[in-house]
Amino acid sequence: MNKKEDVKEESVFDTLEMPLLFDKYDMSEVVVKDPGLKRYINLQPILVPHSGGSYANKRFGKEEVSIIERLISSMMRGEKYTGKKTKAYNAVKEGFDIIHERTKQNPVQILVRAIENSAPKEETTQITYGGISVPKAVDVSPWRRLSIALGNNAKGAVKASYKNDKSIAACLADELIKASNNDRNSFGVSRKDEMERMAQSAR
Say how many CA atoms lie within 13 Å of 48 toward its Cβ.
6
Report CA Rg, the chain: 20
Segments in the chain forming alpha helices (H): 2-15, 35-38, 67-75, 85-103, 107-118, 142-161, 168-180, 187-201
The confidence score (pLDDT) of residue 78 equals 64
The confidence score (pLDDT) of residue 79 equals 66
CA distance 184 to 113: 14
Predicted TM-score (pTM) of the model is: 0.82
The confidence score (pLDDT) of residue 164 equals 80
Domains for the chain: give ranges and CATH numbers: 18-201 (1.10.455.10)
Closest CA to 179 of 196, 193, 161, 197: 193
| Tens of pLDDT, residue by residue, the chain (203 residues) | 444 444 444 444 344 577 888 878 888 888 899 888 888 888 888 887 777 766 767 776 677 788 888 898 888 876 677 778 888 888 899 999 999 999 999 999 999 999 999 999 988 888 888 788 888 888 888 888 999 999 999 988 888 888 888 888 999 999 999 999 998 889 999 999 988 888 888 77
* Identity of the residue numbered 141: S
